[in-house]
Structure 1
Amino acid sequence: MTDSASMKAARLLALGVPALLLGGAYISQFGFGLYPCEMCWWQRYPHFAALGFGLAALFVPPVRLWLALAALAILASGAIGGFHAGVEYGWWQGITDCALVAGGDGGDALKAVFDAPLTRCDQAPWDLFGVSLAGWNFLVSTFAGLLILFLLAKRHTA
């Protein structure tokens, strides 16, 4: 893979991975009623930052810096996801009581609180092959973040 191909791949990953993971999170939330808990939100914030860094890499030099920052933000989300997955699997306790009331449509606030489902951080609302959404975020984000860093480092070794 040439240097320009490595940079293209790094750009694609820096934009594509957070966009797809955030898209999946919002589809699961609004399409399937899997409301996020507090730690789920924590995982989203670094992906928003990664999207910003990835977009900056398209327009503002130095490109490598923005892509490296995007990779680090993606890795941060993966680390939070790994911690959250451990809480869900009962490997350790969370650092908060970590339960959010889902919903909040702007109507009667008290009614919304009493009628909304409680979203707990220590219970995975969904899994695939025994891996929760937080676990999948850990796996995908960690792999993608490391791959972006590898692609950026590749130029210096060639």
Structure 2
Amino acid sequence: MSGRAPARTPSTLLPHLRRARDHIDRHFAEPLDVDALAAVAGLSPSHFVRRFGEAFGETPIRYLTRRRIERAQDLLRVANLTVTEVCTAVGFASLGSFSSRFSELVGQSPTAYRDHWAARGGPHVPGCYLFMRGVVDLPGTAQPRRSASDHAARTVEP
């Protein structure tokens, strides 16, 4: 044991770190790296990673990955999309990386997760509708996103 107390993120940095976290939340499907996120926060990359971890309990890239997987869960529950479509819609470039991260964080494969929710009879919004309405972006496009579950709740009859 070092005998030192854990470092605390100064309150003056929190708005900058929140700005970067909010940027991740809004742009999770886009290619993001530590350098770009550090620039959003106005900090050096190493200082940003250290302070982000202190403030939020995980690295910026782990936070980004978790947000992408959460969004993927949302889409797999309510949308009639293939796993590959979901993978690209949430910002993963590799289906293998997506599947392994999804399985690691959720405890089952994306296909098993989707099939589990489909068996429960939940609403499935057609994928073409989600692409058309901008709920899910086609790769390479930047449109505002809405939550698929919120959208499904407004568009599917009970």
TM, length-normalised to structure 1 = 0.30
More helix by share: 1
Question: Could you state the TM-score of these two structures normalised by the residue count of structure 2?
Answer: 0.30
